[in-house]
Structure 1
Amino acid sequence: MDSIVVTGGGPLNGEIPIAGAKNACLTLMPATLLSEEPLTLTNAPRLSDIKTMTTLLQSLGAEVTSMQDGQVLAMSSHNIHNHTADYDIVRKMRASILVLGPMLARDGHAIVSLPGGCAIGARPVDLHLKALEAMGAELELKDGYVHAKAMQGLKGGVIDFDFASVGATENALMAATLAKGTTVINNAAREPEIVDLADCLRRMGAQIEGDGTPSITIQGVDRLNGATHPVVTDRIELGTYMLAPAIAGGEVELIGGRINLLSAFCEKLDAAGISVEETQRGLKVSRKNGRVNAVNVVTEPFPGFPTDLQAQMMALLCTAEGTSVLEEKIFENRFMHAPELLRMGAQIDVQGGTATVTGVDKLKGAPVMATDLRASVSLILAGLAAEGETTVSRVYHLDRGYEHVVGKLSAVGAKIERIKE
């Protein structure tokens, strides 16, 4: 099992190119199922989750070809011969549920495993099902699979979400493009990945209005055509690498970055004493002066502070002047990185969904273990600011969401290497 070794202490200077968004690409790929014509995605990230979605689509009969070192995905679904998404593939990645809406909309039937063997409720799959039922789908849960039918086709309807779920909004949006009549999604998620999906679907001939707002209206069409679409910049990778010079010192330019992807996050960085400057090519980030200031953070759906940047922000605040409070309001059990940061000398008190962080002068290198994707990269960031050597084990989590972490950080002066085991 590989590990990453970080030796802290030096400032970072240079530039880091930001990849296309994992969460956007994983949503855009199932959109190929909506059309018999080719869909090509450019600026695709090179990640293990993309390979998993490729395997899933191929199991259904789609053709997926990776080109230009994986940054271009050419897909065609002219011959979908299987409408069952098996547990063995779906269990690896929650985004697999996003094949349900497109298959049901195009062919009137689909059988999809519940992702990750999860119970309905946590990170709720029930909202996906509620949306499809509102469009006339007949659903049955049997032996861990969703059996969905709409033999006369889906029909437009009004979908009222109790919670602004990103995945459920995406599934409903794709399904509604081929439904008969008009569909309205209320309390829709507003994330940039939703807007990116809508842009792609419009290129394919869909009629969509209101994406990026809480109410999206879709006028169904008879068929969608092929298209070529660039994947939006990964705002979570962007925010992660913005924190690298904030933690270690120095000045780094993030190529492809935009403030409007992370406005709430950028406001917190400013309050902490971090300069974020727009350039012609992206964003330039540096620490304004000395030690960073403590700030309070509450995670919220977009446009609020992203839950996927909470762990990385905690790493920064471990060395801030004063005490910070972080409230996690999106997912439970999202503070599993805190005990590992404690091993590095951090002062953190976790009570339920709230973590109180009292900044220390210096973190110290230590052997730590990654527990999930964002936690793993937060430990690498902490290692950049720590005295001595930090060894992060179980870094296979990283490969799901960050491409070439060691190469990108090494290019700006970090002392970091991956140890193969």
Structure 2
Amino acid sequence: MAKMVIHGGKRLSGTVTIGGAKNSTVAIIPATILADSPVILDSVPQIKDVYNLMDMLGSMNVASDYDGDVLRVDPTQIKFIALPHGKVKSLRASYYFMGSMLGRFGKAVVGFPGGDDIGPRPIDQHIKGFKALGAQVHQQKDSIVIEAPHGLHGARIFLDMVSVGATINIILAAVRAHGTTVIENAAREPEIIDLATFLNNMGAQIRGVGTQTIRITGVEHLGTQSSHTIIPDRIEAGTYLSLAAAVGDGILVKNIIAEHLDAFLAKIQEMGVNLDVREDSIFVYPNSQLSGIKVKTSVYPGFATDLQQPLTPLMLLADSQSTIIDSIYPKRTRHIPELIKMGAHIKVVNNQILVNHTSHLTGTEVTAEEIRGGASLMIAALMAEGTTVIDCAENIMRGYDRIITKLQNLKADVSYSGNEIF
């Protein structure tokens, strides 16, 4: 169990550069096995999930090499296997191998996915999509077996609920299927556009990404262009913007696509955070007086569920109550008892998080149950007087590129004890 140790109560300043998007990366790496030639990915974040996905590629005889922020993947010698359960359970995004293996081999055997425990996240819409494309799906012990003995064919698929995961998995399965697939009520996240850009540059025919209707005309081969630069991580960006507003004496956050953060930026500006939004960066000025706000998470382009937790510590500084309603994952509240240990005046009432002004936080020992909750505790620890020890800090490492180095460059007093070096 890794620990992050933070000596808080210090004002931070300087520049931080945002890495490639985690939620793009964990979809694009499984997508590389659809290619008929080697692939080069640039701006790949140095996070645990990348190494876990590389291990899964290796189990399929897919060579990969990671140097700096460049990942090279060679799927030309790929072999079909049932993906090992231990590795699959290490992160939820492993379920994207269901779609990519189905698209590549016409079959997939994948253990039930793991990842953060933030409430129910069923995969029924994924299964619905695979069946519509001609696959048969059944459970075998603790694995999902998906087979298309007569091949995959295009279909019209209406998602009963907007699902990023299902949208991505159906794209991965349909991109080499026969005929045209139409996904209606599709998710619109920038990371889906990034995945489609990667696939289209290799010869796929995907249209309509970024809208509620996506059309995919299947192709026989992929691989006409082998390189792709991953978009900046909007969740990492929002996390550092919250941090900068809470403990910053002037922090420049670089490598940002501001339009991907419209809902988040609107809310922190409503609080009174003073920003200078530039072409590909945002400068956060020191803040003195902040007001409470109401946040309700929703699917993109609404306020991202992944940003409600990193925003919570900043809300403690507001002079009036703030309210958070997470309509995506109402049970995403495991960070709240940990913040209370630090002295936060915060509670959960009827699936609403009520955040009240807190003038003083005190360092203590807390636990990062999952990625974004861990980021929330990290920001609170930087705000707190004294020393905070964050247990299970490896969860934070799953989602934040070189976070220790970046914090230290902002003059934070932080250290990390774990097997990873970031």
1:35, CA displacement in angstroms?
2.0
2:152 to 151, 154, 167: 154
In 2, the alpha carbon distance for the partners of 1:88 and 1:361 equals 44
1:84 deviates by: 1.3
In structure 1, give the amino acid aligned to 2:248.
G
* Alignment pair present for 1:240 and 2:229: no
1:210 matches 2:208: yes
Long gaps (5+) in structure 2: none
Structure 2 counterpart SS, 1:84: coil
Structure 1 counterpart of 2:141, from 143, 150, 158: 143
Instruction: State the match for 1:96 in structure 2.
Output: 94
Report what 1:413 is aligned to. Answer: 411
User: Contact 1:319–1:362 (CA<8 Å) still a contact in 2?
Assistant: no
* 1:56 maps to 2:77: no
Q: Partners in 1 of 2:158 and 2:3 — Cα distance? A: 45
| Counterpart position of 1:9 | 9
How far apart are 1:281 and its partner, in Å? 4.5
State how far apart, in whole Å, the 1-side matches of 2:248 and 2:127 are: 47
Identity %: 36
Name whichever of 320-329 and 410-419 sits farther off.
410-419
The question of whether the paired residues in 2 share the 8 Å contact of 1:54 and 1:64 is answered with: yes
- Give CA-to-partner distance per residue, 1:132-182, whole Å, 9 cap, x none: 111111112121212111133210001111111111111111111111111
Q: CA deviation at 1:420?
A: 6.1
Contact 1:83 1:109 (C-alpha < 8 Å) held by counterparts: no
Change (3 A) 1:316 1:118: closer
2:109: which partner in 1? 111
Match of 1:41 in 2: 41
Give the equivalent residue in structure 1 for 2:255. 256
Question: Distance in 2 between the 1:9 and 1:118 partners?
Answer: 29
SS at match of 1:293: coil
Question: In the alignment, what sits opposite 2:65?
Answer: 65
Contact 1:238 1:254 in 2 (8 A): yes
Post-superposition shift, 1:400?
0.7
Which residue of 181, 188, 191 maps to 1:190?
Answer: 188
Equivalent residue, structure 2, for 1:20: 20
**Cα separation, 2, equivalents of 1:103 and 1:249:** 45
Aligned length: 417
| AA at the equivalent of 1:337 | H
- 1:164-175 equivalence runs, <5 A: 164-175=162-173
Separation in 2 of the partners of 1:187 and 1:280? Answer: 31
Give how far 1:275 is off.
2.1
Give the TM-score normalised by the residue count of structure 2. 0.94
> After the TM superposition, which segments of 4 or more aligned residues of structure 1 sit over 3 Å from their partners?
none
Determine if contact 1:36/1:79 at 8 Å carries over to the other structure.
no
Q: Give the letter for the 2:187 counterpart.
A: A
Once residues 358 and 391 of structure 1 are traced to their aligned partners in structure 2, the CA distance between those partners, rounded to angstroms, is 24
Are residues 378 and 342 of structure 1, via their aligned partners in 2, closer, same or farther at CA, if it must alter by over 3 Å? same
2:274 matched residue in structure 1: 275
Instruction: Work out the CA distance in 2 between the residues paired with 1:19 and 1:105.
Output: 29
- Report the AA paired with residue 96 of structure 1: S
Equivalent of 2:290 in 289, 292, 304? 292
Question: Is the CA contact 1:258–1:278 (under 8 Å) kept in the aligned structure 2?
Answer: no
2:274 and 2:115 map into 1 onto residues whose CA distance is 43
Query: In structure 2, do the counterparts of structure 1 residues 327 and 101 end up closer, same or farther at CA, with 3 Å as the change threshold?
Result: same
User: Cα 1:9–1:97, aligned 2, differ >3 Å: closer, same or farther?
Assistant: same
Measure the CA separation in 2 of the matches of 1:167 and 1:419.
Answer: 32
Partner SS for 2:354: strand
Deviation at 1:117, TM superposition (A): 9.8
AA aligned opposite 2:71: L
Q: How much does 1:3 deviate?
A: 2.2
Q: Which runs of 5+ in 1 are unaligned?
A: none
Q: Aligned equivalents of 2:179 and 2:142: distance in 1?
A: 32
Q: Tell me the distance in 2 between the aligned counterparts of 1:372 and 1:64.
A: 27
The question of whether the paired residues in 2 share the 8 Å contact of 1:11 and 1:245 is answered with no
Residue 312 of structure 1 corresponds to 310
Please give the secondary structure, in 2, of the residue aligned with 1:115.
coil
Deviates more, 1:228-237 or 1:141-150: 141-150
Equivalent residues of 1:91, 1:116 under 8 A apart:
yes
Instruction: Give yes or no for contact 2:321–2:357 (8 Å, CA) kept in 1.
Output: yes
Deviations 1:346-367 (A, max 9, x none): 1112124211111122222222
Q: Is the 8 A contact 2:116 2:370 kept in 1?
A: no
Q: Which residue of 1 aligns with 2:129?
A: 131
Contact 1:233–1:257 (CA under 8 A) maintained in structure 2: yes
Alpha-carbon distance in structure 2 between the residues aligned to 1:60 and 1:392 = 35
Q: 1:209-260 CA deviation, whole Å, 9 max, x = no partner?
A: 1101111111111211152000111111111011112111311111101211
Cα deviation, residue 116, structure 1: 2.5
When the two chains are superposed, the root-mean-square deviation of aligned CA atoms in Å is: 1.9
1:40-91: CA deviations, max 9, x gaps?
A: 1110011111111111111112121112x2x111112122222311212111
SS of 1:194's equivalent in the other structure is: helix
Cα offsets for 1:268-316 (capped at 9, x unmatched)? 01001112322354111224x4132111111111111111111111111
Q: In structure 1, how many angstroms separate the alpha carbons of the residues matched to 2:411 and 2:316?
A: 22
CA shift digits 1:167-207 (9 cap, x unpaired) = 11111111111111111111111111100000001101011
